[in-house]
Amino acid sequence: MPSSPVVIGVDSSTQSTKAVVIDADSGRLLAAGRSPHTVTGEGGARETDPEEWWRALREAVASALHASGAPASAVTAIAVAGQQHGLVTLDAAGRPLRPALLWNDTRSAPQAAALTRALGGADAWAARTGSAPVASMTATKWRWLRENEPRTADATDAVRLPHDFLTERLAGTAATDPGDASGTCWYSAATGGYDPELLGLLDLDPALLPTVAASGAERIGSLTRSAAEALGLPEGVAVAAGTGDNMAAAVGLGLGGAGLLDHPVVSLGTSGTVFAATRTRPASPALAGFATTDGGHLPLACTLNCTLAVDKVAALLGLDREDAEPGGEAVLLPYLDGERTPDLPHASGLLTGLRHTTTPRQLLGAAYEGAVFTVLHALDQLPLGESTLGDGAAYGGPQGSGAHERPLRLIGGGARGRFWVDTVRRLSGRAVLIPESEELVALGAAALAAGAASGRDPVAVATAWGTGRGRELPAVPRDEAAWRRIEAVLADVTARAGRAGD
């Protein structure tokens, strides 16, 4: 049984809640717990009852605490990191008025287009909020609710993000942080506050919104009596403001704050994500101009088609996902759900370059290459001070110096797949660092909790714990032929989509 204090980090994701119990002094993972959620909806709708998140949080924390062997009295702080962008509407008693609209609910696409036009285009939004309205952003979901369920909107006494909802249940305090707030499209990372003009455009009363804490590690209160009883913890446990899942992952990797800047991260999951904590505030509609949890810059780009799309190709070919080899002359763009980056919402999968000699294993390898190329192409849009994968010395490898030479931190389910890792190395020509820790979001939340309890910078805490450490694989020669081949096909697809007005 640990003699030192422990902290609890919670990752409330789309499908489940994970909780970790961490020795606050050493960073040792004592135990983890997990509880699933239910996502419902058809025809673009994706919803979950927020009460499920609260139930899952209680179950995951109880499971982790029991498995850890730590006494409840040893817990000093708790923090929640949650899925971004979801819209939670509450009544005056703090009860949900309807199921939450999740980040991947696409019904608000018409409202996103209308909002974009209302402010003069995507560039104008990016300059104001860091991001252009798309269906994932919370502002578009509120506009959808206003237009489609006006009675619910009129009855709303509080508007929250998923992590805000859970934090308020813990502490009884309505608070959020700069990181998660930056994904709403009504908060400006440039000014560090809500944008009054945009709130007016959205017909959203600022009194409905939570206070923005200085950082996700700010102590915004202690467990209420009811929350303490529900979790089996003392009332005095500190509650941090918490943050969004991507921001917490950055903390877990030691990025931002007192940690590393301009170190790119590639996340390979159902979707592909690239981000970095940077010195530069982006203002490009091609990027989500998010903030770190302390208000720094965390530009992010997201592709829709990654591991799930490649697994679908493997299933169609009757192959195991690892039974692949480089694609040869074949190019396969696995845009099975359209694509967000590049902006090809009506695209479908494209296969070209077949020969008599093309094998099924090469076709699967071509799907890997198409997905990885798309993610790495998005990476090149991050404002890291130097081109990461562009022409000349910035290709990576031994040439030049700077941001483009730093290892790619590879996370997500794909980081555990041999051929995914091999393909990233071959198409990037860069070293790859694979962190040992798998629950980086929950670990980042635990570091925020430790910051709330001690006053320390959470990134410094995570760095001291070593949560971002891992094995580094050296750079291999970049497959220029494969890169150029896929690049040419994508350029042709993009040009044809532009001519068609897509």
Domains belonging to the chain, first-starting first, are 6-246 (3.30.420.40)
Burial of residue 389 (number of CB atoms within 10 Å: 0-12, 13-18, 19+): buried
Segment 282-311 mean pLDDT: 89
Residue 392 predicted with pLDDT over 50 = no
Element (H, E) at 352: strand 350-352
Amino acid at the residue 403? A
Report the distance separating Cα 177 and Cα 423, nearest Å: 36
Query: Residues at the annotated binding site for substrate?
Result: 84-85
pLDDT digits (tens, 9 = 90+) for 180-200: 999 999 999 888 899 999 999
Which of 1-5, 393-397, 468-472 has the largest mean confidence?
468-472
- Percent pLDDT > 90 in the chain is 79
Q: Encoding tokens for residue 102? A: 């999740």
Structure tokens at 252: 């877990």
Confidence of residue 78 (pLDDT cuts 50, 70, 90): very high
Q: For residue 124, what pLDDT is reported?
A: 93
- Which of 218-232, 340-354, 416-430, 444-458 is the least confident region? 340-354
Q: Residue range 410-437: average pLDDT?
A: 95
pLDDT score, position 258: 75
Mean pLDDT of 86-94: 97
| 307 Cβ neighbours under 8 A, 6+ residues apart | 268, 269, 270, 371, 412, 413, 414, 417, 420
pLDDT of residue 466: 94
Q: Is 26 helix (H, G, I), strand (E, B) or coil?
A: coil
The residues, ordered by sequence, that sit 6+ positions from 84 with a Cβ below 8 Å of its Cβ are: 103, 161, 162, 180, 183, 244, 245, 246
Distance, CA of 25 to CA of 453 (rounded, Å): 12
Query: What is the per-residue pLDDT for 43?
Result: 81
Lowest mean pLDDT among 36-40, 93-97, 121-125, 496-500: 496-500
Strand partners, 350: 333
With contact defined as beta carbons under 8 Å apart, do 170 and 224 qualify? yes
pLDDT of residue 81: 98
Q: How many Å apart are CA 440 and CA 468, to the nearest integer?
A: 8
pLDDT of residue 459: 96
Q: Is the pLDDT of residue 394 over 50?
A: no
Cα–Cα distance measured from residue 388 to residue 277, given in angstroms and rounded to the nearest whole number: 15
pLDDT in tens, 460-489: 999 999 999 999 999 999 999 999 999 999
pLDDT exceeds cutoff 80 at 207: yes
Q: Read off the pLDDT band of 398 (50, 70, 90).
A: very low
Please give the average per-residue pLDDT across 395-419, as a whole number.
71
d(CA 496, CA 299): 29
| Chain centroid to CA 56 | 20
The lowest-confidence range among 96-100, 166-170, 239-243, 263-267 is 263-267
Confidence at residue 65, expressed as pLDDT on a 0 to 100 scale = 97
Q: How many Å apart are CA 62 and CA 58, to the nearest integer? A: 6
Name the catalytic one among 11, 180, 195, 245.
Answer: 245
- Give residue 125's pLDDT band: very low, low, confident or very high (50, 70, 90): very high
Asked whether the beta carbons of 9 and 443 are under 8 A apart, the reply is yes
**DSSP letter string over 78-108?**
EEEEE-SS-BEEE-TTS-BSSPEEPTT--TT
Average confidence (pLDDT) over 134-162: 96
pLDDT at position 303, please?
Answer: 87
- Catalytic residue list contains 245: yes
CA 459/CA 462 separation, integer angstroms: 5
Q: How confident is the model at residue 402 (pLDDT cuts 50, 70, 90)?
A: low
Tokens representing residue 477 in the block: 């020669």
pLDDT surpasses 90 at 438: no
| Three-state DSSP class for residue 47 | strand
Which amino acid makes up residue 416? R
The proportion of the chain whose per-residue pLDDT surpasses 70, expressed as a percent, equals: 95
User: Could you give the CA distance from residue 53 to residue 172 in angstroms, rounded to a whole number?
Assistant: 16
What pLDDT is stored for residue 403 in this prediction? 59
Q: Per-residue confidence at 30, pLDDT binned at 50, 70, 90?
A: very high
User: Which pLDDT score, from 0 to 100, does residue 501 have?
Assistant: 59
Confidence check: pLDDT of 389 > 50 = no
Question: What average pLDDT does range 66-82 have in this prediction?
Answer: 97
pLDDT at 286: 81
Sequence-distant (≥ 6) Cβ neighbours of residue 6 within 8 angstroms: 21, 22, 23, 24, 30, 68, 70, 74, 75, 76
